[in-house]
Amino acid sequence: MNTFALTLQYFLTITIELTVLFIGISALVALLLMYIPQSKIQKWMSGRGIRGNVMGAVAGSVTPFCACSTVPMAKGLLDAGVTFGAVMSFIIASPLLNPIILGMLIALVGWKACIAYFVLVFGLSVLFGVVLGKLGGVTQVKQLAGCGCCGAGEADAPKTFTAKLKQAFIKAWGDYKSVLVFLLIGVGIGSLIYGYLPQEFVLKYAGGKSPLAIPVAAIIGIPMYIRTETAIPIGLALMAKGMSIGAVIALIIGGAGMAIPEMTMLASIFKKKTVAAIVAAVFFTAVISGYAFNALM
């Protein structure tokens, strides 16, 4: 009964924390993006050289990730003349530096871990964007059918701050309802791990001394399509049981970076060579970040 009570307490506590974080951060980012139109983002990313890659990663880090909006936006950026490499940095950074991920990391593992995560992933997004930019650029782009299922046009944005704030919270609530099932699944699995999974098992196969824990976690994360809202509470519970923080970070990056809907849409606008290269870039980002986290933390 004590174990069940602790499991239930963990479930309720983490659910409340993540709910407040998700709605608050989503509303804040939605409000911010009402003041930053897509045309301005395109202008920022239009620089040549590594500057375009840096701005692509910046744009990705402030754009709430949704496969059916981010991928068409990437095509729009290419059509607007943004370099292929800068768009690749945007595509890599968008799911991995999602403000929701950063907010959850701050609340659950602290500021230092969040800053280390941001610096590592941001730098690798820029680096792999530069590398992917050498693949052939726009010759790797197919035609894209319109999506039109996410977001409103710039002209539809409210004019007053109060109206903008109201719409931001309405959007945040809608986003929260769309991920609630995944969040509860993640917290539920994490609660069971926290309450019932033997610590010795985790330490043996995924502890800090296991050399293969990080690449295995990254490989597991990629095909599983672990949404951020699902992966972070699972990772937190595994870390409490002794899983290295590096393996947890690799699992989160692998799952969040290679969502099945995103890969399907990427395959509709990029050739197989580019899609495979993006998968490889996310995998190496997961592995490098995992080992770096274990060394730093």
Is the model more confident about 143 or about 59?
59
**Are 96 and 255 a contacting pair, CB within 8 Å?**
no
114 Cβ contact partners less than 8 Å away, ≥ 6 residues apart? 102, 105, 106
Distance CA 268, CA 74 (A): 12
pLDDT at 111 over 60: yes
pTM for the model: 0.70
Q: Return the pLDDT at 107.
A: 73
Q: Parse the chain into domains and list their residue ranges.
A: 2-135+175-296
Please give the average per-residue pLDDT across 46-64, as a whole number: 80
pLDDT at 146 over 50: no
User: Within its chain, how far is the Cα of 28 from the centroid?
Assistant: 17
Distance CA 293, CA 120 (A): 9
Q: How many other CB atoms sit within 10 Å of the CB of residue 167?
A: 18
**Are 61 and 122 a contacting pair, CB within 8 Å?**
yes
Query: Which letter does DSSP use for residue 97 in this model?
Result: T
pLDDT at 149 over 70: no
Please give the average per-residue pLDDT across 148-177, as a whole number: 74
Q: Return the pLDDT at 31.
A: 83
Is the model more confident about 226 or about 290?
290
Which range, 106-120, 172-186, 188-202, has the best average confidence (pLDDT)?
106-120
pLDDT at 69 over 70: no
Buried b (16+ CB within 10 A) or exposed e, 98-125: bbbbbbbbbbbbeeebbebbbebbbebb
Which range, 12-16, 93-97, 165-169, 192-196, has the best average confidence (pLDDT)?
165-169
Choice among 16-25, 34-43, 271-280 with the minimum mean pLDDT: 34-43
159 Cβ contact partners less than 8 Å away, ≥ 6 residues apart? none
Q: Return the pLDDT at 145.
A: 46
Distance CA 146, CA 136 (A): 24
154 Cβ contact partners less than 8 Å away, ≥ 6 residues apart? 37, 38, 39
**Are 117 and 105 a contacting pair, CB within 8 Å?**
yes
Query: What share of the chain in percent tops pLDDT 70?
Result: 75
pLDDT tens for 245-286 read 888 888 888 877 776 656 766 777 788 888 888 888 988 998
